[in-house]
Every structure is written in structure tokens, then in C-alpha cells.
Chains A and B, each alone.
Chain A
Amino acid sequence: ETGVTQTPRHLVMGMTNKKSLKCEQHLGHNAMYWYKQSAKKPLELMFVYSLEERVENNSVPSRFSPECPNSSHLFLHLHTLQPEDSALYLCASSGGGSKNIQYFGAGTRLSVL
């Protein structure tokens, strides 16, 4: 148990579905991150929240909508996805500040049909 829990672990959805990924951290951190991991590509940072405020959005399509209601929870709302969005979505958290370590969840494996 890394202290960062992601649910669900696996998700299959059609292109017209709406679903949400959930991330919860039990480490008392104040920064949370969404990454996309596709086969044969480096990890792509999608969003960063620091103190519940979005501080980075790396040109992610609007069909991905993050939400950070408090410092312990992070959501990624999915709507009208494309097959190329199939990937492993990883959540991480850190204590804030550049010397703080990012701790990762186990990820959600998303398949878009």
C-alpha cells in the first residue's frame, strides 16, 4: 500500500460514455498529479493541483476534466473519449515544494472501445 489509492483499477468504456477516475491519498500531501502512460511513450503529465488549485494543464483535450475537491482527493472526469485515449492513468501526490517526492498509485487501466 503506497498511500495513494486509485479506483477503479480497470475501466472499459464506449466513446459516448461518461466515467470518472478517482484518486485518494492518505499521506497528508498538498499536491496531486494526473499522468497518462501509453505504450512506448514517456509518462505524460496531464494536470497538477497544488493546494487544491490547478497549477498546470499540459494542453490536455477538454474531454478530460480534472477535479480536486480537497487535498486528499483527485478526480478525472472522462467524456466522449477516443480509442487513442486508452492508456494507464496514474495519480501521484507529493508534499509540495520541489524537493518533495512524488508517490504514485497503481493506476487505472482504461480501454476505450
Chain B
Amino acid sequence: AQSVTQPDIHITVSEGASLELRCNYSYGATPYLFWYVQSPGQGLQLLLKYFSGDTLVQGIKGFEAEFKRSQSSFNLRKPSVHWSDAAEYFCAVGAQGGYNKLIFGAGTRLAVHP
């Protein structure tokens, strides 16, 4: 069965520090992978996506993620975190088919200390 695991429920970093949020997936074929961000009281905004090709993908707001097939991972990174990055981050895997069905992880809540 398809699943997504985000091992870290909460992460706290200092402003300016680097960030890595972990995501592991279980999927039988080549996955479509996504990272979304949710600010309080808001819906989900797409940060970046991987469909095929270059395994290092760039997204908005200075985020990037690397697809590692051997590790079934799609970790999100940012070299220098800003206070405005405090939010909840969701990794998702898309099932191939007639429409874009997404399986989401439980999310990682990021807090940023000044």
C-alpha cells in the first residue's frame, strides 16, 4: 500500500540555520512526489514537485528537495531559514492514474527561533 512517513512531528531551528525535513514513501512504481506548506489558518501551498528527470528539484521560497530512489526518500532542504518559514510542511506521493490522487504524510511543524 502507498504511504508517506514524516518521522519528525516538530522541528525547531534558529533563524539563519539550515533545515532538512525528512520524508520517506512507500510506492510500487516511480512516484510523483510533492512538498506542500500550510501556514496557520490557510490551505496548502505547493513548494515543489518531482515527476522525473533531475533528482534535485528547486521550489519556491528557496526550498529544494532531493529524490533518492535507493532510500525511498524525498527530503526537503533550505540553506538558511527565515522566521516566515514557520509553518507545517507536508510531503505527499501521487498515485499514477486517471486523476491526481495524493497520499499525505502526517506533517512536520516547523518553529523558528529568532
A residues with a Cβ closer than 8 A to B are 2, 4, 6, 31, 40-43, 45, 48, 50, 55-56, 90, 92, 94, 96-107, 109
In the bound complex, CA of A28 to CA of B102 (Å) = 20
Q: Tell whether, in the assembled complex, residue A4 and residue B43 are in contact, meaning their CB atoms are under 8 Å apart.
A: yes
Query: Complex Cα distance A42/B20, Å?
Result: 20
Chain B residue numbers with a CB within 8 Å of A94 are 99-100
Point out the residue from B43, B99, B106 that lies within 8 Å of A2, measured CB to CB.
B43
CB 8 Å contact bits of B43-55 with A (1 = contact, 0 = none): 1111001010000
Interface size class of B (residues with CB under 8 A): 20 to 34
Chain B 7-40: CB-based contact to A (< 8 A → 1; otherwise 0): 0000000000000000000000000101010000
A-B residue pairs in contact (CB < 8 Å), sample of 14: A6-B43, A42-B4, A42-B105, A90-B44, A94-B99, A97-B100, A99-B51, A100-B99, A101-B49, A101-B100, A104-B36, A104-B43, A104-B44, A106-B41
